[in-house]
């Protein structure tokens, strides 16, 4: 029998990533939660907490389904780099990451129909080349940064700025496919 899977996300990138590995959610229901970090919360903890809160919020009304949720947090040291909503913040993020290493934390949460919650933290290390002011200006002008954690999208022009990556590439896009499949297989989820 087919299991019902709900993706608790508004991210079209996560939908595309799941399709890439043959998983088509039965429903996509974004969770409306407060995503503000708690006082002194570090990036890795925030990613897992938000993923779990998203999954729990949707599971309340869909107890018969598997609920998959994820959250991506970019961290530079202990600093959390939020989604860039304006040019000034995107420029600040790019300037901060220029020529240095940062980490992309992917929190993944799955709630089963029996109410069991599974979480996983995925960490990817990314190093940007030293960006010139002209490169930053050009990236800001193209608008690819809008709504992206840390002010960049690895699946676009910013890929040309990445000097080094260690860990899951799909995690930086929005969802580690390897880890997602491992969690789903671990709870006996059957697609199709």
102-148: pLDDT as tens digits? 999 999 999 999 999 999 999 999 999 999 999 999 999 999 999 99
Q: Name the pLDDT band for 191 (thresholds 50, 70, 90).
A: confident
Task: Point out the catalytic residue in the list 71, 82, 86, 137.
Answer: 71
Q: Name the pLDDT band for 3 (thresholds 50, 70, 90).
A: confident
Q: Name the pLDDT band for 10 (thresholds 50, 70, 90).
A: confident
pLDDT of residue 192: 59
Mean pLDDT of the chain: 95
Average pLDDT rounded to a whole number, residues 153-171: 96
21-63: pLDDT as tens digits? 999 999 999 999 999 999 999 999 999 999 999 999 999 999 9
Average pLDDT rounded to a whole number, residues 153-175: 96
Predicted TM-score of the model (pTM): 0.94
Q: Flag the least confident range among 75-79, 136-140, 167-171.
A: 75-79
pLDDT of residue 1: 52
Catalytic site includes residue 179: no
DSSP the chain: -PPPEEE----HHHHHHHHHTT---SEE-------PPPTT--HHHHHHHHHHHHHHHHHTT-TTSEEEEEEEEEEETTEEE-B--SHHHHHHHHHHHTTSEEEEEEEEEEE-TT--EEEEEEEEEEEEPPPPHHHHHHHHHHTTTTT-BTT--TTTGGGGGEEEEES-HHHHHT--HHHHHHHHHHTT----
What is the Cα–Cα distance from 55 to 28, expressed in whole angstroms? Answer: 12
**CA 102 distance to own-chain centroid:** 15
Domains of the chain are 5-186 (3.90.950.10)
pLDDT of residue 22: 94
């Amino acid at each position: 029998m087919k299991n019902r899977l709900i993706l608790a996300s508004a991210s079209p990138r996560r939908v595309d990533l799941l399709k890439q590995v043959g998983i088509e959610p039965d429903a996509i229901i974004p969770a409306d939660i407060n995503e503000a970090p708690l006082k002194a919360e570090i990036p890795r903890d925030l990613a897992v907490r938000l993923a779990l809160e998203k999954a729990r919020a949707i599971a309340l009304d869909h107890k018969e389904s598997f609920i998959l949720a994820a959250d991506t947090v970019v961290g530079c040291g202990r600093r959390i780099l939020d989604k860039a909503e304006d040019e000034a913040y995107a420029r600040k993020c790019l300037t901060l990451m220029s020529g240095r290493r940062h980490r992309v934390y992917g929190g993944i949460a799955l709630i089963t129909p029996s109410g069991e919650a599974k979480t996983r933290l995925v960490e990817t290390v990314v190093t940007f080349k030293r960006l010139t002011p002209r490169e930053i200006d050009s990236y800001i002008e193209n608008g690819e940064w809008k709504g992206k954690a840390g002010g960049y999208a690895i699946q676009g022009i910013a890929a040309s700025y990445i000097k080094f990556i260690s860990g899951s590439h799909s995690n930086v896009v929005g969802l580690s496919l390897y880890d997602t499949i491992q969690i789903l297989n671990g709870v006996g989820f059957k697609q199709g």
